[in-house]
Amino acid sequence: MIRQNITKNSNIIQNYSDTQVSQEIFLSWKINFNYFVYASKSDIDMIFHTQWDDIKWNIFFIFYWKWKSTGHIISNISHSNCHINVLTISILQDDNEITIDWDIKLWKNITDTQWHLLEKNIILWKKIKIKATPRLDVYSDNVQATHWVTIDKIDSESLLYISTRWLSQSSATNLMISWYIQNILSQFPDTTEEKKTQILQDILSHIALPHD
């Protein structure tokens, strides 16, 4: 497992395709950490650790493309005044199989720490498999920890509204997916607009949309 120490404010974007990833990340004192992984056909095994108090994380994962992807992510939160927001988006197509395991631990004697996780599963076709098995272990009273999972299609009302603007349903779906990606990329001000466009196009180019 590759070890990485984050000792200053960081904005990191990583792309994994058809690979295995094993990484352990240690976060130092009083840093803001924005981390975005977009992955296709990959097995991702990651562990995040706090090393000091006063850490702010924004962590984003997008799983896309056909076939199988897995994510096993462990978060060890053992310090106070930490604020963690995690968003995982899985874009599911035909024969897609997504397995995501979150193992979240908030240890004893920490205070004023918040952990929020949202897992969104966006279904584009019918033949898919989803397995989401989060585990939340909280050993301290003065913390907040929440977890939401949604499994749905692109919002039909939004699609209808966009379609009335002379766009096909597939184009409207493409626009909605683009909004999710662009919303994540907006959290990375150090990344050039050219790079953001490249990331957006890379993801969209591997998504097969239903026919109108």
Which pLDDT belongs to residue 14? 95
Asked if residue 10 belongs to a domain, the reply is: yes
d(CA 84, CA 115) in angstroms, rounded, equals 5
* Token code pair at residue 54: 């006063």
Asked if residue 197 belongs to a domain, the reply is: no
| pLDDT tens figures, 131-160 | 888 888 899 988 998 888 888 776 666 656
CA distances (Å), origin 35, targets 85, 137, 154, 170? 11, 23, 25, 30
Asked if residue 94 belongs to a domain, the reply is: yes
Asked if residue 159 belongs to a domain, the reply is: no
Inform me whether the pLDDT recorded for 172 exceeds 80.
no
Asked if residue 165 belongs to a domain, the reply is: no
Number of helices (H), then strands (E), belonging to the chain: the values are: 3, 13
SS3 state at 60: strand
Number of domains in the chain: 1
Asked if residue 211 belongs to a domain, the reply is: no
SS3 state at 178: helix
Asked if residue 174 belongs to a domain, the reply is: no
Asked if residue 63 belongs to a domain, the reply is: yes
| pLDDT tens figures, 3-51 | 999 999 999 999 999 899 999 999 988 899 999 999 988 899 999 999 9
DSSP-derived secondary structure for 163-177: HTTT--HHHHHHHHH
Read off the pTM: 0.88
Between residues 99 and 49, which one has the greater pLDDT? 49
Average pLDDT over residues 91-101: 81
Residue 19 structural domain: 2-154
